[in-house]
Amino acid sequence: MSTIRIFNYIILIVGIVFLPSFLFHEFFIVRLISTLRMVSSLPLFGISLIILREVNAGYKNKEGNINKIDRIASIFNSALFLIFSLDIIYLIIRLGLLALSSGYD
């Protein structure tokens, strides 16, 4: 089993476990931000998501087709990549507000 396939299974499991739990939560934003904090505390995980997203974009099996597991994992991977990207934006906004509230321009 290749390393890419192992990462795809891990991302598939993480996606199945975490994404529905906060998508259907009544406080979606609160849940999203707490998930963002968890993901952002693992910068290597975020970097691996970026790399894996690029690898998955060109990964195909011997017949030239992307199989279902890899396709689903790629969807969850893109969702986790989006969460990681939103966390970076959230941190920039938070730091900007902190700078404004402390009097620095």
Residue 19 has pLDDT above 70, yes or no: no
**53-71 per-position pLDDT tens digit:** 655 555 555 556 666 666 6
How many structural domains is the chain composed of? 1
User: The whole model's pTM is what?
Assistant: 0.39
Are 28 and 22 in contact by the 8 Å Cβ rule? The answer is yes
Helix, strand, coil tally for the chain in percent (to 5): 80, 0, 20
Domain residues for 52?
3-101
The residue among 59, 64, 62, 42 whose CA lies nearest residue 8 is 59
Q: Position of tokens 């406080």? A: 27
pLDDT class of 17 with cuts at 50, 70, 90: low
